[in-house]
Amino acid sequence: MKEPLNSLSFKPSEIVQLPEKMDHHNHGYNQIVIGLSGQTEFDIEGAGNLVCPGQGCLVTADSEHAFSGIGNNEILVLNVPTEQLQPAYADDSVARLFEQSSYFHLDRQAQNLIQMLTAEMMAHPDDLLLSKACTDTLMCVLHRHFKPLNDHKPNHRLNMDIIDHYILQHVTRKISVTQLAGLVFLGESQFHLLFKAQTGVTPHQYVLKKRLEFARDLIETSPLSVAQVAQSSGFASQSSFTQAFTRLYGKPPARYRKANA
């Protein structure tokens, strides 16, 4: 399904929540999608990936793409008609953004800028001038602040900020290696090797340690019972939590709480 460019309804940028049901289309304009919250799933001409906060994808004009949301989510969509690339964005590096569809990571500076701009957009959703200004601003800076998916060198380092944020946001749930690998646009086996080389532990061991650190903070700062802490930290049972906690911190949770009261 190809969408026409309707000047009456076309917004240069907008904040969108994607439904969980997969949809697909193509359109005659370029598009940049940036994850703001939650997770979304995209497939662009057969190349699929998750898009999470701090990540995004470039969809070139007329590219067939499918998309869906995973639970609660928000994305920033920048719509850029092909005729606007020249002369409005005369810089060759900007035009090269749309040479082919791709996925990318954003650095912290770009993420901070996006947070400020989207806050203004949410406060004034019908301001088309603001919408265009946001698109123009981001188009001028994005090419300096993102790393394409295919920019994986042998010494590539994983973005642990993205991984840590995801673990914290989903600490009450089961977290798989596949989910973590999708955050940084890698296959499961490649992610596992890179992760172990960079951190010295497996992804499973790392997630377990993060759960226990989260649980320790709850024990030190909250009135929750040990059973409630176990549940809040994503453990299947109080006994499995107690065993893991004791191995790491040398004391069971109740004794640890008393010792640190």
How far does CA 96 lie from the centroid of its chain? 23
In the chain, where are the structural domains located? 2-148, 160-259
Instruction: Reply yes or no: is the peptide bond before residue 87 cis, omega within 30 of 0.
Output: yes
Size of the chain, expressed as the number of residues it contains: 261
* Model confidence at 150: pLDDT above 80: no
Spell out the CATH class of 160-259.
mainly alpha
- Per cent of the chain over pLDDT 90 is 42
Q: Are 174 and 234 in contact (CB under 8 A)?
A: yes
The yes or no reply on domain 2-148 and CATH 3.20.20.70 is no
Rounded Cα distance, 251 and 246, in Å:
5
* Model confidence at 20: pLDDT above 70: yes
pLDDT at residue 6 in the model: 45
pTM of structure: 0.60
Q: Are 85 and 67 in contact (CB under 8 A)?
A: no
* pLDDT band (50, 70, 90) for residue 7: very low
Task: Return all residues near 50 (Cβ < 8 A) that are at least 6 apart.
Answer: 39, 40, 41, 42, 70, 179, 182, 183
Question: Which tokens go with 192?
Answer: 């596992």
Question: CA 76 → CA 168, 179, 180, distances in Å?
Answer: 22, 22, 22
* pLDDT band (50, 70, 90) for residue 184: confident
